[in-house]
Amino acid sequence: MSTREAARTLPEGRYGTIRPRKAPRWRMWLFTVVAIVVSSAIAFVAYKNLGDTPIDAERVGFAAQPGDSMQITINVTRDDGGRAGVCIVRVRDLSGAESGRKEILVPAGGTSRRMSTVIKSSGTPVTADVFGCSYDVPRYLSSP
């Protein structure tokens, strides 16, 4: 008989019944509270990052221009028409790498606006898209 078998087959009545040890009740409550806090933090971060954006832009079209430039037209939609915003647009080359970028000031007034600009590229651009928009307008764009 091996030691493993001997450990499993104890003589009855000699050592009493073997009861599984229960974890203390405070551990269960602590685990529950930690799980709720972590779940709430994950939900908050997901809401802030994946929820509706206050200012957003959609590319309407783009067209190649002479001299390694490209014109892009975007529709900007925002929740507060009284605030100025900024949108970053970019062009990409054939490999998909960003080859040019430009910030566009979106002046206050109205909740939606169509804008167009020309972006210079370091190589031959093949596409243009919107990188993102924000209400945090840099000083150099907002100064007269």
Residue 98 sits in a domain whose CATH number is 2.60.40
92 in the same domain as 24: no
Point out the residues of the chain with pLDDT beneath 50.
none
| Domain boundaries, position 84 | 55-137
> Which among 31, 51, 71 is the end of a domain?
51
pLDDT of residue 73: 96
Query: Structural domain tally of the chain?
Result: 2
11 within domain boundaries:
no
DSSP secondary structure string for all residues of 110-131: SSEEEEEEEEE-SS---EEEEE
pTM over 0.75, yes/no: no
Size (the chain), residues: 144
pLDDT of residue 141: 86
103 in the same domain as 83: yes
92 within domain boundaries:
yes
18's tokens:
């073997």
pLDDT of residue 11: 65
Separation in Å, CA 49 to CA 38, 53, 54, 58, 115: 17, 9, 12, 18, 26
Residue 128: how many CB atoms within 10 A of its CB? 25
1 within domain boundaries:
no
25 in the same domain as 92: no
